[in-house]
Amino acid sequence: MTKTELIALCDAARASLPSLLSADSRDRILAALPAALIAAQDKILAANDIDLTRAREKGISAAMLDRLTLTQSRIADIAASIDEVRALPDPIRCEYEDTRPNGMHITRHRVPLGVIAMVYEARPNVTVDASVLCLKSGNAVILRGGSEAIETNRAIVAVLRDALSPFGARDAVSLIEDTDRESVNILLTLRGHVDLVIPRGGAGLIRNVVDNARVPVIETGAGNCHVYVHSSADISMAVNIIINAKTQRPSVCNAAETLLCDAAIAERFLPVAAAALREKNVELRADSAVMKYIPDATPATDDDFAREYNDYILAVGVVDNVEQAVRHINKYGTRHSEAIVAEDSAAAEYFLTHVDAAALYHNASTRFTDGGVFGMGAEIGISTQKLHVRGPFAMEALTTTQYRVYGNGQVR
Amino acid sequence: MTKTELIALCDAARASLPSLLSADSRDRILAALPAALIAAQDKILAANDIDLTRAREKGISAAMLDRLTLTQSRIADIAASIDEVRALPDPIRCEYEDTRPNGMHITRHRVPLGVIAMVYEARPNVTVDASVLCLKSGNAVILRGGSEAIETNRAIVAVLRDALSPFGARDAVSLIEDTDRESVNILLTLRGHVDLVIPRGGAGLIRNVVDNARVPVIETGAGNCHVYVHSSADISMAVNIIINAKTQRPSVCNAAETLLCDAAIAERFLPVAAAALREKNVELRADSAVMKYIPDATPATDDDFAREYNDYILAVGVVDNVEQAVRHINKYGTRHSEAIVAEDSAAAEYFLTHVDAAALYHNASTRFTDGGVFGMGAEIGISTQKLHVRGPFAMEALTTTQYRVYGNGQVR
């Protein structure tokens, strides 16, 4: 799409915002969507079939194919999840009020951000999830999904827009219908037209958005997470935690990518850990100190410690102490999730107060960084930036504040 | 400074952060600063004299000269303000905790952002204020003040750094000592080295930072604020409010720059308002509809409605109704402070729910957008962006969150 077309898309989205002003309208809109999706499931599944056929021809991975695939039952799940979001507490509300000495009544409201762009990979469920979270919080959304899902996304968005039409909210959900990367790059420059871009997906996608955006971004996801085993660690706990952090779901951002351990515990810990990791088919890339204890590991380069593998590969290094571990993590980490295994609580406290990351763990797996686990409900993503929101975030991050002041003629 | 030098400055600043970890250290550091400044006041005043002499030679405005000028009594005030900040509640704290069903104890802490850069104009008091607010919140600060204040800033920062040295915190405050704009532009690109840039000053300075920053920014200040007089307005209240909003302090960001009024009230309101504004020496720039009622006003161009005058100049326009006023403000405004004067509460509610700005007023002056007035204490600035913080903001905006999770071996 051209810049002019993209601005028109954003302006139409913004013009739809008044239709989402009242909680009652938003809830009536959300109530209409599940039935509309189910009624149109044949069309959606037919479109999905086209995407799946093309994807198979391109030879994409089984995991990606699975994420791209819709079925009647998956559409039913997606529809049910809309009802769950509709039932959540309204994020648009007055959160503070005060009457000042001069009689002015000052209120602070949470209000929608406005026009939110979602840039994501080929996951049709995100098309609906993102739309619904934006609508519930009074925002319009511009969707840009992965090219492999384009037919499915077109079909879904057509259904959503038709369902929104009777409420005057048709343009509150729209899709960038081409699959040209240039469209995204233009969108990322539209200051004043786009209030927020949220990238969701792999490191490359996120990096492209963060590097090129001239509009506000919530950076999500990339996680080069570490498990550090202190000399005081309980060895069987440490083995359990690294096995879980690395292998329970290696493709996700809160999986561990590097194992560090103190030199003082290396001889006792590393051979046991290596055996357990190999039983799970994890390839080990070891620094020279580690090679002494795991001689058949692959020698690690400096670059191996900077990578997010999202795979059954783990970099392993030895450090002198917690201070050196913290320096390593602050140098190579992506500020996501970092764990220390230690019985010594002073070492743990040092780690928890000196590592610069969204979530820090003492004697628990990095895999817990998740909105559901943290008790915050429908998670949109995990922010690795410091401004606005950090760590797992839910719908409130799609709002901002506005002061509304009521006077009777006050001047200063 | 070169990129390498600036990165070294940032890295030294970051290396000083552990010295600011405990509330006790931070308070002891702040307690040492007032006496240090007063003890060095002769040096600081001598440096300030050099700046003032150069500034007079360059012929800068009286207002700028005044802001640049230090005296013994101003230094005493600055020193006293350090004690006030020291006495504020500690912004670094645990703000949430919960024990999950699996026994993990999840806490969320407010933690320092890290390295904060302040880019501001020739106001030596900001050099101290910004340093103190950053130190109190556990952050290191890199200062870049206006070139007219360079000698004063060098003297002040030398004093602060000497006073910080015994605490191992010397590099927690540093100054970009050259006055080359290129240094700022390089600083703005140092992702991963700078956690936040706050620009404070005129529209040009802020625009340069926002346009060039590749690091996180809190955009402050620029205010093209409107007073809209609805057909139901109390005319004398409307006159009071526009006089106050325009003339009580025209140089500030929450002063009004445009007056809009409904066509239905124009004949009764505009001549009275014009007379009162002219008595205060305000130049009026009027659209064609206004010219009927104020025939000797200067005709306004479209551009006049987009400008922040910060002067005794006011653009004046007529609109048909509140909907048109809202469209005008959302088109030309800078999302700062906007007021409606109306007895009709439905019109006011429409305005307050449809204008996109940080602070909205019903029957009160735009001049109240201020941290002190809003009861939040030492204000750092007024954010006109939507992410992180919006409207007047205090020290909490210099912090982010961090989850710290305590387990006893939990895995997922």
Residues paired with B141 in a beta bridge: B116, B173
Q: Specify the long-range contacts of residues A205-211, CB closer than 8 Å, at least 24 apart.
A: A205/A119, A205/A120, A205/A121, A208/A181, A208/A184, A209/A119, A209/A184
- Host H or E run for residue A198: strand A196-200
With beta carbons under 8 A apart, name residues in chain A contacting B367: 411-412
Residue ranges matching CATH 3.40.309.10 in chain B: 225-372
Counted across chains A and B, CB pairs separated by less than 8 A come out at: 175
Cβ–Cβ below 8 Å for B405 and A104? no
Short-list B373, B129, B389, CA closest to B254? B373
Instruction: Output the pLDDT for position B103.
Output: 96
- Residues B309-325: what's their mean pLDDT? 97
Question: Identity (one letter) of the amino acid at B326?
Answer: V
Task: With beta carbons less than 8 A apart as the criterion, state whether A144 and A117 touch.
Answer: yes
Cβ–Cβ below 8 Å for A106 and B374? yes
* Residue-averaged pLDDT of chain A: 96
Cβ–Cβ below 8 Å for B405 and A358? no
- Residues B301-313: what's their mean pLDDT? 94
State both tokens at B2.
């070169």
Q: How confident is the model over A130-147, as pLDDT tens digits?
A: 999 999 999 999 999 999
Name every residue whose Cβ is closer than 8 Å to that of residue A182 and which is 6 or more positions away in sequence: none
With beta carbons under 8 A apart, name residues in chain A contacting B400: 386-387, 390
> Searching chain B, which residue's CA lies closest to the CA of residue A354?
B18
Residue A36 has pLDDT above 80, yes or no: yes
Instruction: Output the pLDDT for position B376.
Output: 80
Instruction: Output the pLDDT for position B221.
Output: 74
Task: With beta carbons less than 8 A apart as the criterion, state whether B406 and A342 touch.
Answer: no
Task: Please tell me the least confidently modeled range out of B11-15, B35-39, B219-223, B291-295.
Answer: B219-223
Confidence category of residue A106, pLDDT binned at 50, 70, 90:
very high
Residue B240 has pLDDT above 80, yes or no: yes
State both tokens at B262.
């409904």
Task: Give the span between the Cα atoms of A109 and A92, in whole angstroms.
Answer: 7
Instruction: Output the pLDDT for position B253.
Output: 92
Instruction: Output the pLDDT for position A251.
Output: 87
In percent, the amount of chain B with pLDDT more than 70 equals 100
Instruction: Output the pLDDT for position A379.
Output: 83
**Which residues 193-212 of B are in CB contact (within 8 Å) with A?**
195-196
Residue B126 has pLDDT above 90, yes or no: yes
Task: With beta carbons less than 8 A apart as the criterion, state whether B365 and B353 touch.
Answer: no
Residue A221 has pLDDT above 80, yes or no: no
Instruction: Output the pLDDT for position B378.
Output: 74
With beta carbons under 8 A apart, name residues in chain B contacting A407: 361-364
**Which residues 1-30 of A are in CB contact (within 8 Å) with B?**
18, 21
Cβ–Cβ below 8 Å for B364 and A241? no
Q: Per CATH, which fold does A3-219+388-406 belong to?
A: Aldehyde Dehydrogenase; Chain A, domain 1 (3.40.605)
Cβ–Cβ below 8 Å for B234 and A409? yes
Taking residue B147's Cβ as centre, other Cβ atoms within 10 Å add up to 17
Instruction: Output the pLDDT for position A220.
Output: 86
Residue ranges matching CATH 3.40.605.10 in chain B: 3-219+388-406
Q: How far is A88 from chain B (nearest CA, A)?
A: 20
- pTM here? 0.94
Out of A243, A248, A411, name the one closest to residue B240 (CB).
A411
Cβ–Cβ below 8 Å for B404 and A362? yes
Higher per-residue confidence, A154 vs A64: A154
Q: Which CATH architecture describes the domain A225-372?
A: 3-Layer(aba) Sandwich (3.40)
Instruction: Output the pLDDT for position B204.
Output: 86
Instruction: Output the pLDDT for position B225.
Output: 98
Where are the extended beta strands (E) located within B220-357? 225-229, 256-262, 283-286, 298-299, 313-319, 337-341
- Residues B205-213: what's their mean pLDDT? 90
Which one of A220, A225, A404, A408 would you mutate to disrupt binding with B, by most B Cβ within 10 Å of its Cβ? A404
Task: With beta carbons less than 8 A apart as the criterion, state whether B147 and B7 touch.
Answer: no
Residue A178 has pLDDT above 90, yes or no: no
Q: How confident is the model over B170-182, as pLDDT tens digits?
A: 999 999 998 888 9
* Residue-averaged pLDDT of chain B: 96
**Which residues 136-195 of B are in CB contact (within 8 Å) with A?**
195
Q: How confident is the model over A283-315, as pLDDT tens digits?
A: 999 999 999 999 999 999 999 999 999 999 999
Q: How far is B83 from chain A (nearest CA, A)?
A: 26
Q: Respond yes or no on whether ipTM tops 0.85.
A: yes
Instruction: Output the pLDDT for position A164.
Output: 98
Output the DSSP codes for B98-146: EE-TTS-EEEEEEEE-SEEEEEE-S-HHHHHHHHHHHHHTT-EEEEE--
Task: With beta carbons less than 8 A apart as the criterion, state whether B315 and B224 touch.
Answer: no
Instruction: Output the pLDDT for position B279.
Output: 97
Residue A377 has pLDDT above 80, yes or no: no
> Searching chain B, which residue's CA lies closest to the CA of residue A389?
B388
Residue B265 has pLDDT above 90, yes or no: yes
**Which residues 347-386 of B are in CB contact (within 8 Å) with A?**
352-354, 356-365, 367-369, 373-375, 385-386
Task: Please tell me the least confidently modeled range out of B71-80, B209-218, B313-322.
Answer: B209-218
Q: How confident is the model over B30-82, as pLDDT tens digits?
A: 999 999 999 999 999 999 999 999 999 999 988 889 999 999 999 999 999 99
With beta carbons under 8 A apart, name residues in chain A contacting B374: 106, 403
Residue A378 has pLDDT above 80, yes or no: no
